[in-house]
């Protein structure tokens, strides 16, 4: 999830476990440590976009990383909790839970994480919440701000932290229940419309858990659709997206193409605009697919020939403003 969500979740855990040992320092320690797994974003400075995307949320988002780093952090920051009441293993347990919160939140999003790296390179995901969802974050952010302002001795601190954390967890539970409902609706529609597919996935549209995006994968392409739990009817309209493998004629020797295909878990297509060839990861949808069917794919890579060989470059152009996309998102989420 986004950095703010990770920070306020880690801060809440710090308030629960370590406030008696370190006061407000536990609040900030939990928040900052919760950001640690995303150090793998540094791969963007050393690798091509395709490899960097695949490496992100790998080893630093694994159980092994949390298990190994937790005691190291407890040792390095022992002075922070040196009050005579916070033994080493208690501090290590605190850091482990904070790192685990980061792993869990990212597990719930579409990108996928390497839970068992380096022993298994498989990426795991539950696809029940968007990478940034204010309905989850705001209660925790509100409680964090209140706790940061309040004095450490204030008896209301524990109650406020429980309320903020409880509301966030309640919403997260709702996303799982909602996911189950949406998954059933999509599967039923695929069967009723006699659409042949190998497997399918469902994931929330940006910033909410009401509007959902579905992708059904076949050998030669994918079927995509949007569904809001507020729609009056549960009949979906699927759009077919061909993979267009024939476009790759000039890039057969590109070693980065298999990396992109593996990262997308087979949910991809190739498109061409003029002389430009793009690899599109269909799992993340279009920039405003709920409003503009032909808007560009969010995760799109421009495959370019150059004198040094073949490289993959991120596609940056946008075809719709953020304001337009947001307004159309809210309108579609309200149902049709």
pLDDT digits 0-9 by tens, 127-160: 999 999 999 999 999 999 999 999 988 999 999 9
Helices within 117-270 (DSSP H only):
134-149, 157-192, 256-263
65 close to 37: Cβ distance less than 8 angstroms: yes
Is the predicted pLDDT of residue 318 greater than 70, yes or no?
no
Q: Cα angle at 226 between 187 and 173, to 5 degrees?
A: 70
Is the predicted pLDDT of residue 288 greater than 90, yes or no?
no
d(CA 168, CA 166) in angstroms, rounded, equals 5
pLDDT band at 85 (very low <50, low <70, confident <90, very high): low
Report the predicted TM-score, pTM, of the whole model to 2 decimal places: 0.92
Residue range 102-122: mean pLDDT, rounded:
96
Domain ranges of the chain: 3-176, 193-336
Is the predicted pLDDT of residue 86 greater than 80, yes or no?
no
Is the predicted pLDDT of residue 20 greater than 70, yes or no?
yes
- Give the residue among 122, 118, 96 at the shortest CA–CA distance from 107: 122
Number of H helices, E strands in the chain: 9, 8
Mean pLDDT score across all residues of the chain: 91
Residue 204 vs residue 152, higher pLDDT: 204
Q: What is the pLDDT of residue 312?
A: 75
Is the predicted pLDDT of residue 52 greater than 60, yes or no?
yes
- Give the residue among 75, 92, 73, 83 at the shortest CA–CA distance from 23: 83
Is the predicted pLDDT of residue 73 greater than 60, yes or no?
yes
Within 13 A of 83's CA, how many CA atoms are on the CB side? Answer: 14
Residue range 38-45: mean pLDDT, rounded:
88
Q: What is the pLDDT of residue 81?
A: 60
pLDDT band at 83 (very low <50, low <70, confident <90, very high): very low
């Amino acid at each position: 999830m986004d950095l703010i969500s990770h920070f306020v979740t880690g801060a809440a855990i710090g308030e629960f476990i370590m406030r008696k040992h370190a006061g407000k320092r536990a609040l900030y320690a939990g928040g900052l440590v919760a950001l640690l797994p995303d150090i793998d974003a540094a791969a963007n400075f050393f690798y091509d976009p395709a490899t960097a995307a695949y490496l992100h949320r790998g080893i630093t988002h694994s159980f092994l990383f949390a298990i190994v780093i937790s005691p190291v952090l407890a040792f390095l920051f022992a002075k922070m909790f040196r009050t005579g009441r916070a033994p080493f293993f208690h501090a290590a347990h605190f850091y482990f839970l904070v790192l685990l919160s980061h792993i869990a939140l990212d597990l719930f999003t579409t990108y996928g994480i390497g839970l068992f790296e380096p022993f298994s390179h498989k990426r795991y995901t539950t696809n029940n919440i968007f990478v940034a969802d204010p309905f989850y974050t705001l209660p925790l952010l509100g409680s964090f701000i209140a706790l940061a302002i309040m004095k450490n001795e204030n008896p209301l601190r524990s109650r406020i932290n429980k309320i903020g954390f409880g509301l966030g967890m309640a919403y997260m539970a709702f996303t799982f229940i909602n996911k189950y409902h949406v998954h059933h609706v999509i599967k039923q529609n695929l069967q009723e419309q006699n659409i042949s597919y190998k497997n399918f996935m469902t994931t929330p549209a940006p910033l909410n858990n009401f509007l959902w995006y579905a992708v059904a994968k076949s050998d030669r392409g994918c079927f995509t659709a949007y569904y809001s739990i507020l729609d009056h009817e549960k009949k979906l309209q699927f759009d077919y997206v061909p993979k267009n493998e024939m476009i790759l004629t000039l890039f057969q020797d590109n070693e980065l193409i298999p990396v992109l295909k593996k990262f997308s878990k087979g949910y991809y297509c190739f498109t061409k605009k003029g002389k430009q060839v793009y690899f599109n990861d269909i799992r993340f949808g279009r920039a405003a697919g709920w409003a503009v069917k032909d808007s560009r794919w969010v995760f799109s890579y421009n495959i370019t020939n150059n004198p040094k060989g073949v490289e993959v470059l991120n596609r940056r152009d946008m075809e719709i403003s953020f304001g337009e996309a947001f307004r159309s998102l809210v309108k579609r989420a309200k149902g049709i």
